[in-house]
């Protein structure tokens, strides 16, 4: 299971990272076109598709996709 991310929309606020109960999200070292360090999923196999990250993101940048 995994989530999808629009890395160009993500502003790297970290809300989803601290809200994920499975701790499978982290802020990347890479930056998007806006200069923001965007989020990435570290262990897709541990994701339970709970949707918490999707619900908490203020910019609709992350969503459950499988
Ligand atoms: S769907 Fe749930 S488990 Fe998966 S990355 Fe989002 S908050 Fe974490
Ligand atoms: S996906 Fe949304 S909540 Fe997560 S860091 Fe990016 S902007 Fe913040």
pTM: 0.95
**Is residue 53 lining ligand 1, measured as CB closer than 6 Å?**
yes
CATH number at 3-64: 3.30.70.3270
The residue contributing the CA closest to ligand 1 atom 2 is 50
What are the residue boundaries of the structural domains of the chain, listed by start? 3-64
pLDDT in tens, 40-53: 999 999 999 999 99
Q: What is the 3-state secondary structure (H, E, C) of the chain?
A: CCEEECCCCCCCCCHHHHHCCCCCEEEEEEECCCCCEEEEECCHHHCCCCCHHHHHCCCCCEEECC
pLDDT in tens, 1-45: 889 999 999 999 999 999 999 999 999 999 999 999 999 999 999
pLDDT at 1: 80
State in Å: Cα 35 to ligand 1 middle: 24
């Amino acid at each position: 299971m995994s989530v999808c991310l629009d890395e160009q929309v993500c502003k790297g606020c970290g809300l989803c990272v601290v809200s994920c109960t499975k701790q499978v999200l982290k802020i990347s070292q890479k930056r998007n076109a806006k200069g923001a360090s965007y989020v990435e999923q570290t262990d897709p196999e541990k994701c339970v598709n709970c949707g918490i990250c999707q619900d908490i993101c203020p910019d609709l940048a992350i969503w459950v996709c499988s």
